[in-house]
Structure 1
């Protein structure tokens, strides 16, 4: 059995409690002490890992008990080799997941912490309460008695009196207080319709992270946090996903950036070459590429630029004549015939699929997806079962191609966004996490 570095998971009772800024400040503060810090994200989030990389200086990976099987989860855990400590960020509330079991569990952060053997630090927003906050924290500790629990960080504390009263409650509940963060309005990250803006778009991300680290150093007990970290045993086996081609041209810029890090690491580890190009800079994919992959992102914010990128458009059309192209979510939208932005302006897209989408007519799509392919797509044969995640506000106005897959949500209910295929081109609204065993 290979031992993983000691680790912790930062979670909260719900979203919006400040755990992301705590996470980023803690990653940088620990790194500044000379530690090699391995960040992780529990769940299918594809925005936070880029912020983690900026804070820790080391690629962050997703751990997902619904989508991933034991082999993949162990393969992702092995990315911590060489690190001194692992710090994972939970998603939503600590116990939030789906109703139907997936490959290993229901997708909650608590499952990730238990599986990895990492104690939980609960970030509790104590605004509007004092001793009562302890009842909330105590309930979270007691809900899963065998879950390792390190203690709490109190966030948005209004005054020394507020801190004293809140600590009294935590002391009575027997909950260690690892930090007390005063209320500060500037400790937030900019957001847009999918949550945080992308790390590459932040106007001064380095200064923001340095500020979070200073704030954490002043108000948390770093030594106690380090001492609370625990190591779990991970099997020596495990593997990351194999590449769908040898030479992969990957769109990479502010319009196309959402790719799960474990996929890229798996592709590279197996010897694939990743050839980045920027559609926004009007770059064509490498003409020697075996496959073009358009990730998700925000093409709806750059419709005019993409419509005018003639070198990019011509290169994509040439590639599609003989070799495969695959797009996910935003990449899928860009492969379509047209995209309507939030102002109602239609922009001509690549036209490699008949898809017409609108961001003017917003409809929220969120959740895990299981897809059984009706036709092959890069890396997978027809009949393969895939696991992924969908998160967008786009409405489909028209689909004019053959459906790619039978798609269902986490509970097995059919999802109308089935993806599309035409010739060598395929696309899906879900972001691929993994194929099921045998895929």
Structure 2
């Protein structure tokens, strides 16, 4: 059985799901409930906030990139919780155009696969009774058995709340809470989403305020009663580690590594050795592989260029052992990184890559990669599932391509990554290897 759980979703992005989820996680934790957070779809930033709010690691559940056995494996390995709370990405049914491993990456997929009912966070600003008609459509599409009710958000007044709530109840929709508009509780954001949890000033105090706000305006006992366990399918491990000792870049510039991958490496007996390039730390001398995570190196180009201990340690490691970079980590392996002001910063020079953040263009979506060369602990020909999300562009890339990469609809993606000797990288963020039938 899966633990009793709920999916917190919404009709669309921007409805306040993350704020509500964080408030729920902290409020339940303060009441002594061991609540296990999850995030549906590809997202690095929200799970870091979940971890601070709940005091437990948060894991991604992605039906496009992960098969059903892997999804259930991640859920069952996150043991010891009284309930699970999964925050959805985008709208309840939003995902890829084509199905992947066992779905399109939508929050609705996770609700169906895990048997967790959906609580819809509805931004009712600018409407009143009409909100019930829209929610009725979501309820009929997901099915009444999987629809638990709504939390109204950004309510303008008690009169406004009464109009909306009466219409919801007349339509047979349970109202589990109503949150007045509170602009002072919003979280700061930047181009890839929220500012990272590690950078947020006084995050704990903000979460405490959110918890009090949610506890005052949401029926927490009702949410616990509604949470439901589902049947558990066969489970599978996530991913073998790329080495026994993994030097992992980890700081404000390098923080985008999926928690389920790190947990699977640890469970397989690997030792993860974090180091901070921004603090000018070199990777451990006895590491089998250096893994440069994605993140925000474009915000720290000058500091990284001046981090000689880090850069020299990276170059020394690459003489005899593998180095792999994902997205931002890939950019740092190149010759130069051009920031938003057009200033070029010299990077490690282990690849001929030159990238520019001054020439901004959004690259976003699921990716399917078949390796042309060995990389990151995988053999040539291995098929991987992941995603891409960045604004930087490639100015120069003279090295051999690393992978043949397509999007979720099968169209070839131009940026194929690159490798030189034992050094490899790409904009591709790994989620899971593709398993055969």
Common topology (TM > 0.5): yes
Instruction: Tell me which stretches of 4 or more aligned residues in structure 1 moved more than 3 Å.
Output: none
SS of match in other structure, 1:88: strand
Q: Which moved more, 1:153-162 or 1:141-150?
A: 141-150
Bigger shift: residues 262-271 or 68-77: 68-77
- C-alpha distance in 2, partners of 1:371/1:80? 28
Q: 1:383 aligns with which of 367, 381, 384?
A: 381
- Does residue 138 of the first structure (1) align with residue 136 of the second (2)? yes
Among 129, 153, 156, which residue is 1:155 paired with? 153
1:40 match: 38
More moved, 176-185 vs 144-153: 144-153
Gaps of 5+ in 2: none
Q: Are 2:332 and 1:341 aligned?
A: no
Q: Distance in 1 between matches of 2:110 and 2:334?
A: 37
**Contact persistence 1:80–1:86 (CA under 8 A):** no
Match of 2:362 in 1: 364
Distance 1:107 1:361, change over 3 A: same
Residues 72 and 241 in structure 1, CA contact (< 8 A), matched pair in contact too:
no
Contact 1:110 1:147 in 2 (8 A): no
Q: Deviations over 1:229-265 (max 9, x none)?
A: 0001213632121101100000000000000000000
Task: Write the deviation string for residues 77-135 of structure 1: whole angstroms up to 9, x where unpaired.
Answer: 11331100000000000000111110111111001111010000000000011111101
Match among 302, 309, 333 for residue 307 of structure 2: 309
Match of 1:321 in 2: 319
Q: Deviations over 1:374-417 (max 9, x none)?
A: 00102211011000111000011010100000000000000011
Alignment of structure 1 residues 215-234 onto 2, 5 Å: 215-234=213-232
- Asked if 1:403 corresponds to 2:397, the answer is no
Is residue 77–residue 234 contact of structure 1 (8 Å, CA) maintained in 2?
Answer: no
Report the equivalent of 1:100.
98
Who is 1:430 aligned against? 428
Which of 75, 79, 82 is the aligned partner of 2:80? 82
For residue 366 of structure 1, give the secondary structure of its aligned residue in structure 2.
strand
Give me the whole-angstrom Cα distance separating, in 2, the residues matched to 1:70 and 1:112. Answer: 10
Q: Does the 8 Å CA contact 2:71/2:235 hold for their aligned counterparts?
A: no
Secondary structure of 2:184's counterpart equals coil
CA distance in 1, matches of 2:254, 2:156: 40
Residues in 1 aligned to 2:61 and 2:364: alpha-carbon distance in whole angstroms: 18
Superposition map of 1:189-228 within 5 A: 189-228=187-226
Distance 2:130 2:376 in 1: 53
* SS across alignment from 1:342: coil
| TM-score normalised over the length of structure 2 | 0.99
Report the equivalent of 1:188: 186
How many residues align? The count is 437
Aligned to 2:417: 419
**Following TM superposition, by how much is the alpha carbon of 1:57 offset from its aligned partner in structure 2, in angstroms?**
0.4
RMSD: 1.1
What SS does structure 1 have at the residue aligned with 2:149?
strand
Matched position secondary structure for 1:354: coil
Give secondary structure in 2 for the equivalent of 1:93.
coil
Between the aligned partners of 1:147 and 1:362, the Cα distance in structure 2 is 45
Q: State the shift of 1:72 in Å.
A: 1.4
Q: Counterpart of 2:268? A: 270
Which range moves more in the overlay, 16-25 or 141-150?
141-150
Alignment of 1:233-252 (within 5 A): 233-235=231-233, 237-252=235-250
Distance 1:33 1:148 in 2: 26
**Partner Cα separation in structure 2 for residue 243 and residue 70 of structure 1:** 21
Q: Aligned pair 1:23/2:21, yes or no?
A: yes
